[in-house]
Chain A
Amino acid sequence: MHPNLSFEQAPPIGVPYRFFLTAPWFGVAAGLLLAVFGGEMLASRWTPGTLAATHLLVAGFMLQAMCGALMQFVPVAAGGNIWRPTWVAGAVHPLLIVAVSLLVAAFLSMHPPLFIAAAHVFLVTLAFFGVVVSLALWRTPARGATIMALRIALLGLLVTMGLGVTLATGLARGSDLPLLTLTDVHVGWGLGGWALMLLAGVSYFVVPMFQLTPAYPAWLARGLPVMLLLGLLAWSAQLAGLGENLRMGILLFGLAVGSAFAVGTLYLQSRRRRKVSDTTLLFFRTAMLCLLAIFLSGLLFAVRPDFWNDPRAAIWIGMLALVGVFVSAIQGMLYKIMPFLNWLHLQRLCGLNMLPPTMNQMIPERAMRRQYYMHLLGLALLLLAVWQPALARLAGLVFAIDCVWLGLNLLQAVRVYRRFKAELEHKTAAAV
């Protein structure tokens, strides 16, 4: 059987869009939470508000966007057939909203049954999603670094979820397990094994495509997922006990692998053949600089243990990773994917007699650019607020506005899609 030259395999447009259109509003909720709780939320990673906001970003914003992206990317770019995508998306999307809402309520109330409920919904939803997407990735005839990274990312998602479920039930019922160490391993797999792995796998594809850069060299593209996976396995060994120096060494190794990806991407982008730069490129560069900044911060913390022992050090790293790296990269990516999918689907509806609006008419470049500046302002304020808690409320508010703006820009794309589709149907009806 020959692999398909796919777009025929592309899922209906509503499959990725329901995830994409939901993601920003979790960011809004996280920002508002900070605006309400203020500076105390940035004092330590263990306050209820911090845990709630963190999960609004990772299991709300990021997970929604990433699941939606996989539903589109796996069939179209990786040649993997996802089983009944409309049905899968129709189940996974609302269940994830329920799961995150339960978890956030659990953190804010510390009410044990809520943790148990959240754990169950996450377990069922992500195990189902993981199996469906893994099957598609397992059977695809395509090969290469992207497929490898996506497969490991799926493993990372499942490990993260398993550890998360263990933590939630441990918190609810009491447990002999070393919950703090488990949390560090959970974070490692979530950010490194799932989020960064997925970002890398997708970047191998879209960075050359959007900016006409040279391809990622094979040693980097293939070496990165392997090194990251090895780092995570070593990082997990702390569950059996590791010395503090060794632990720091493994952490720095993992961060160095991440920064190799960042430097590689920035280098490729500097060699791009496309001379015109766009908002997606700015978002991507911001993300890569933040990834690099995490490594540099790690180096600083390694030589200055007094900084590292400050609870705000972890908040600083987390802010750089979540808002700086992943929210930035996702925003930039959505600004390319949604206008293009709009165009592609409309184009198919109208055949060759009529052309749909161009990508720039779906979301005007100006609107994206202004939202990017708002994002930069939000990110800068959040980073400052880690050390200047008086800024926390303002930073939360600005970040919420940043995400509202993103959400509205994406809705704008949907409006253009709907309007054009209605016009088209009107014309077809008139012709008949």
Chain B
Amino acid sequence: MHHPFDPVRTMNSLTEPLHQHHKHCDELFADAEAAAAAKDWSRCKSMLERFRDEMEGHFRTEEEMLFPAFEAATGMTGGPTQMMRIEHAQMRELMGQMQAALAQTAGEAFAGAAETLLVFMQQHNMKEENILYPMCDRSLAGQAADLGPKLHEKLEAECLAAQ
């Protein structure tokens, strides 16, 4: 029987892998944050590296493949995708701040940057999942058969390259 608190599987869409990958990055974030809270700095270092690499892979998949396809299909170049690029840059900065705190094993500074990144990342993901991805799914529906697997492959390749 379907557990009443488990999410219902959404329809397979072009952006589904990116959607799922958000959750995966959440897990990696939570591990890195927990390791820092436990002052297990060596574990934190490896978890943070993994988290940053996967985030970077995610950003690149969007910035190098999904966004250009969306912009080409809609002609919207200065709108939502631009906003998302700026937010990616801000998250890169915050991850840099976490890295710097880690290098100094500064627990409080790490926790502060992590907290900020978490809230920022969640509101960013929500905007993508609720607004931008559905817009992409609609405007790129014609290319889904081709672009869908490509997106998936790129995301996997970027993240595998990271490991």
With A273-B26, A273-B30, A360-B115 as contacts: A8 and B83 at CB distance below 8 Å: yes
Which residue in A79, A212, A219, A347 is a CB contact (below 8 Å) of B4?
A: A219
Cβ–Cβ contact A359 & B5, under 8 A: no
A143: nearest residue on chain B (CB-CB)? Answer: B130
B123: nearest residue on chain A (CB-CB)? Answer: A209
Which residue in B29, B37, B112, B130 is a CB contact (below 8 Å) of A360?
A: B112
With A5-B131, A209-B122 as contacts: A343 and B90 at CB distance below 8 Å: no
Asked if A275 lies at the interface with its beta carbon under 8 angstroms from chain B, I say yes
| A75 vs chain B, min Cβ distance (A) | 13
Asked if A45 lies at the interface with its beta carbon under 8 angstroms from chain B, I say no
Q: How far is the CA of A209 from the CA of B117 in the complex (A)?
A: 12
We find that the number of chain B residues with CB closer than 8 angstroms to chain A is: 41
Per DSSP, chain B at the interface is helix
With A2-B135, A8-B83, A358-B97 as contacts: A340 and B5 at CB distance below 8 Å: no
Cβ–Cβ contact B111 & A365, under 8 A: yes
Q: Which residues of A contact B6 (CB under 8 A)?
A: 214, 217
Which chain B residues in 51-105 approach chain A with CB under 8 Å?
Answer: 76, 79-80, 83-84, 89-90, 93-94, 97
Cβ–Cβ contact B116 & A358, under 8 A: yes
Q: Which residues of B contact A343 (CB under 8 A)?
A: 116, 120
Cβ–Cβ contact B109 & A358, under 8 A: yes
A337-348 interface mask toward B, CB cutoff 8 Å, 1 = contact, 0 = none?
000100110010
A61-96 interface mask toward B, CB cutoff 8 Å, 1 = contact, 0 = none?
000000000000000010100000000000000000
Cβ–Cβ contact B115 & A358, under 8 A: yes
A366: nearest residue on chain B (CB-CB)? Answer: B108
Cβ–Cβ contact A268 & B116, under 8 A: no
Q: How far is the CA of A271 from the CA of B6 in the complex (A)?
A: 11
4 tightest Cβ-Cβ pairs between the two chains A and B: A358-B112, A360-B112, A275-B34, A209-B122
28 sampled A-B residue pairs with Cβ under 8 A: A5-B79, A5-B83, A5-B127, A5-B131, A5-B132, A6-B127, A79-B131, A142-B130, A209-B122, A209-B126, A212-B26, A212-B122, A214-B6, A214-B7, A217-B4, A273-B26, A273-B30, A274-B33, A276-B30, A278-B115, A352-B89, A355-B94, A358-B109, A358-B113, A358-B116, A359-B119, A360-B115, A365-B111
Question: Hey, which bits of chain B sit against chain A, CB under 8 A?
Answer: 4-8, 26-27, 29-31, 33-34, 37, 76, 79-80, 83-84, 89-90, 93-94, 97, 108-109, 111-113, 115-116, 118-120, 122-123, 126-127, 130-132, 135
